[in-house]
Each structure stands twice: as C-alpha cells, then as structure tokens.
Amino acid sequence: MSHIKNLIPKTVNPDLVKERTGAEFNVEEFAAWWHGGQEKLNTKREIERAIFSDLEDGYGLNHEYMSHEDVYNSSVEKVAKAAVKLKALQNKINPGGNDIWPGLLYNVQSHGLFPSNHPLATHITMFVDVIKGQGTPEQVEKWGKAAENCNIIGTYAQTELAHGTNVRGIATRADFDPKTDEFVLQTPNLEAYKWWPGGLGHTANHAMVVAQLYIADVHHGVQMFIVPVRDAETHMALPGVDIGEVGKKLGMVAVNQGFLGLDNVRIPRTNMLMKFAKVERDGTFKASPASRVNYLTMVYTRCLIVNLTSTLLLEAATIATRYSAVRRQSPIEPNQPEPQIIDHVTQRLKLFPEIANGMAYHLAAEHMWEIYAQTVQEANSGKFDRLPDMHILSCALKVLCTTDGCAGIERLRLSTGGHGYLTAANMSNIYGNAVAAYTYEGENTVLLLQIGRALVKAWAAFVEKKPVSASYGYFASSMQLKQFPKWDNSWQCIIQALQYAAAHKTRIAFENLAERMASGQSQGVAANNTGIELARAAELHGRQFVCQTFLEQVTGAKAQKRSAALNKVLENVLELFLVQTLLNNMNDVLRFISLTDADLKSLQKRLEVALDNFRPNAVAVCDGFGFHDRVLNSVLGSYDGNVYPRLFDSAKRSSMNQKPVQKSFETYLKPLMKANL
C-alpha cells in the first residue's frame, strides 16, 4: 500500500479552477442536456454516490497486479456483490425499471464498478435481449425472466473459429429429429467451434447458438437455439459440450471470452427461437416473413457499440484535456514561464476534434435508437420495410465510430506523453476495450463492402428511376447539379459537398463494377476488384449521414430548449466537426468540386478559429460529460487535477514496491554482478 496517501491534496489544482471559472456557458445546463434532463442527471449522481462511495482504497488499480485467473475470479466476486446492491437500488429509486439493475452492468458506471470488465455484459446486452426480441411469449416467459434475474447465465454464440462476419458461412448444424421432437446440434470440425462469446469460458451455463437449420437434410437458413452448456448445480460441462476460455487478450481482461464445441447435443424443438421463423411438430418449416429479421439483433448491438465507443472516446478526451490543462511545458515565448500544454495549437488539434467526434457519434447514436424503436414497433406489426435501411445505417455508424474512436483514443494517449503509457493513466485499458469493437459484430472492412453493395444496388434503382429510400435521397439532389454551386462556406454547403462526393463515388463504383462485369468478370470477382471504390463510397455515405444528423441535433428544434450560451458552444463544436471532416476527406471532394485556393485557406482558418474558440470551454465541456473519477480511473484525469501526487501514489502501489529487495537479487542479479564475465 502507498505510504504517501496524505500527499494527495484535498484541494483542486489551480489551473483547473481557472479553466472552470473561465468557461463561457453553464456546465450544469450542459450536463442536464447531455444526460437527457435534470431529473436523469440527478438520478445518475444519486446512483453514483450509492455505488462508488464505499469502494476500498486501490479498487481501480489492484487488479493490474493480479494473475489472469485471479482477475477473473475477482471480477465475478465484484459483479455478484454489485448485483445485490444494484437490485436494491433499483427497487428504491425506480421500482420495476431496468436502468440500474441490470442496466449498470453495461453502461458507463460499469467502467468504474468493474475496472477489469466482467463476464456478464454479453448475457445482459445480447442473450436477454435476443430472447425478448425474437422469442415467443412462451419462450420469453420461460427463459427471459430467469435470464433477467441471472438465475441462468447466457451468452450469444455466433462467431466461429473460421467464420466471423460472414454469417452465412457458419458451419454449426442443427438437424431436426422428428422422432424425438428435438434438434441435434453438431460442430462438424475444429473450424466450426464457436469462438469469442463473452462469458462463455467459465461463466455462462446457456448459450444462444447460431446454427444452420436442416430438416430432412434440407437447409432452412441460419436460426438461433438456446443450448444448455453447463450443469446448473456443479457448473461442469454437459455431455457432448467442449467448452473453455480463449486465453489472454489485448483488452477486456475479465470478459471471459470462450470457445464451444457441440457433439450431438440434443435440445427440445421449442428451444429454437420462433417469434418469426418456426418449426412445427411434424417438421414443417415456416420461414420468417422478412429474411433480414435476424439483423435486428445485430442492429441493436451495433447501436450499443456506438454508444460504448463514443463514451470511451470521450473518457479518453476528458483525461487528456484535464491533463493538458495541468501539464506545463515548452515556452511559446522565449524566457517566459512554461505554459499549459493546452495552449499549444498543435495540442489543441490532438484534443478538441476528438471531443467533437465523440459528441457527434453520441448524438448520432441517440438518433439511431429512435429509428431502432420505430423499426422494432413496425416489425412487431409485421412491417419490415425499414429493416434494410436501418441495417445499412447501423453498419456505417458502427464502422465510422469504431474506426475514428480507436484512432482518436490512441491519438489522445499520445497527447499525454510518457505518463499516458502507464497503466494507471487508464488510456491503455480504454483503448483495449474500444479496439475490439473494430472487429466484433462485423469486421469494419467487411461491413463497408456490405454498405457498398447496398449503395450500388440503390444507384441502379436510381438510374432506372425507381424509388429509393430516404437515406439515399442525396443521389437525386446531387445529380441534378451540372456542377457544384459556388462555395459559400455554410454548414449546409459542407454537408452538400460531402453528399456530392459520396454520390459521385457511388456512381464511379457502380460504373466500374458494370464495366468489369461487361468485360466477362463474374459478379463476385467484379465486386472484389471494385472493393476499394465500394469501401470508399460506403465511408462517405456514412460520413454525410453523421454530419447531417449532428447538424440537425445542434440547430434543429431542440436548440430552442437550450440557452444561447450553450447553443454557441455546441455550434462551435459542430463547426469544428464539419470543417475537420471536410478537410480529412478533401482528396475525394476535390475530385468532384473545384475549390479555389482562397476557399481552402478559408477552411484552414476556420479550423484554427474553431480550436481557439473552444479553448476556454474545453475543460468545462469535459466536466459536462459527467464522468465520475471512478469511471475514468486515471491518475491523469481526476477532477481535482492533482496529477503528480496521484502518479507517485500509484507507483508506490506496485506489488514490487512492497518488498525492498526482490528474490531474484540473491539468486541471479548478485551472482551476475560479482561474476568475472
């Protein structure tokens, strides 16, 4: 344990005090807006007081010095104890709700409660919700309530050792046996082992297994099956089940991802989720009314991913911004005192665009949740028209948010210099938790190609003057222009430029694909050879959507409910985001739009002005995100800004510093030092 705890001041670093008093808006108003209203903000704070106040000293750092096995067991202990506390808190604050229990197992407060992660997140976010979303009322009654209460623990087992994003390539089979009214599940080879499901290793006793359905050896597509995998009392693997953990990873230390092999494992017919597709007692198969209904699960998960990644990005931005306001280095004027490094323009360029990115993706995710709710409501009424569009938009948002988020977190880590390399800064954990999302629930390049194929399909319909969905509405508005209008520097002009470039990139991808097929290439080969163009068109399609959504969220009807001061700050963030996005994609924009040197100089100037205007409000905006110190878990990003005492305190906590001399000294180091080599 540290011997210098009393060296951490009870006061706030004067530089942070100065930053907060110099803010040009009311932080409390920002926080209330960000969290969906003052009542929700107050509830959040009440919850955090209840769950964080009694955590022991060193709670957020002790796991760093544990063995792999001990980290897992410690995390299970934490989540089991937290469950009792969270359930009681739910009954006290919001009886009948699920925002605290089980909501706090996967929302932002979980980052503070479970600093090494925990193995129940997949159970709560996927296993439970898939049952509720795609199970019959009888199935929801049987498994849903038990799962919500953690009487059974499940996971979602789709990815296989040799098959990930390509769901159609999954090799696990489920054959219907009409004699026994059962499905027989089989992993045909090593490559078909389920691989990566969270909590599968040693935690879950049920798995939502995604498998190819066969009836009388006739294939009926991919379906989902609830499969018990461990004994309810002993937790030993059931007969025919080969199960374990995949091993240590870059991040997500205690998530306990696992593998699963099934050898003639039998389950009742009623264990297949049948809200949409059905298998009758006599083996009759009734197809889902919409072939893409299973995408609802992935759409839901991708919305969660955007929420998570934007949150992690903003956590890293808060840490780096507070540190940059405290750290002083490299005089700007010779013979002058060292300034706060946040006063270096190059440092601002590392920090502020990431805050803007995090806010843009957060607001885009909120918009997507609204669309998702409408999509589910329509699906429950038998209407599935919105599903394909929702799928493509969620793919685009997932790709962009995880790509930009992971790059941004690493950029922010680098902005904190050497201290950011320490585990106690928590930047490495934040990155490790975020970067996995680049791959899971659809590897990003594969998703871009899916979007690209949807774009050229929509373009074909557009060319043939057939109706296209609203998300492709910019095709018509862009192609009606013989050339892009004179640049007027407006926000709408920036978005129109991105849409114009996206439309023409889609056109080029479509034309090149058609040309390759006309030359004799098969559709598959032609699509593969057009992959670069398809992916780039897909990225621009997503970026124009995020920009348009951000503009509407900041300047639309909701702005009337905010003060002029807050709107001014948000408009500055919007300005920074739009200008930076345009500059980052200028190679494609200039291919289709003639901008003058004066236009380009103007954009560069706007970037610099936006950075300068955001400077007085940077720390206060980060405060407005409301990340509790337990959530940030960083010696560099604490609210009080006492960076150096906390750095030294964390060093003293190292397990190696609990002994004055390590055992290797007498055994190896001392003989080496006395040897005559």
* Cα distance between residue 169 and residue 192, in whole Å: 10
- Residue holding tokens 């005089």? 331
DSSP 595-619: --HHHHHHHHHHHHHHHHHHGGGHH
194-195 and 173-177 strand pairing: unpaired
Residue 426, by phi and psi: left (phi above 0), alpha (psi -120 to 50) or beta? left
DSSP 277-308: SEE-TTS-EE--SSTTTTHHHHHHHHHHHHHH
452 in a known ligand binding site:
no
Pull the structure tokens for residue 42: 């107050």
Peptide bond into 119 cis (omega under 30): no
* Cα distance between residue 649 and residue 303, in whole Å: 38
Other C-beta atoms closer than 10 Å to the C-beta of 87 total 15
Looking at the chain, the number of H-run helices and the number of E-run strands are 26, 11
* Cα distance between residue 121 and residue 102, in whole Å: 9
- Active-site annotation holds for 511: no
Pull the structure tokens for residue 589: 């924009």
* Cα distance between residue 239 and residue 543, in whole Å: 49
Contacts for 557 with CB less than 8 Å, ≥ 6 apart = none
Reduced to 3 states, what is the DSSP secondary structure of residue 201? coil
β-strand partners of 195: 259
- Tell me the one-letter amino acid at 600: L
Options 64, 148, 182, 441, the catalytic residue = 441
Pull the structure tokens for residue 656: 């190696």
Contacts for 89 with CB less than 8 Å, ≥ 6 apart = 47, 50, 51, 100, 101
159 in a known ligand binding site:
yes
Pull the structure tokens for residue 27: 């932080």
β-strand partners of 261: 242
- Catalytic positions, written as ranges: 441
Residue ranges for the known binding site for FAD are 159, 198
Residue ranges for the known binding site are 159, 198
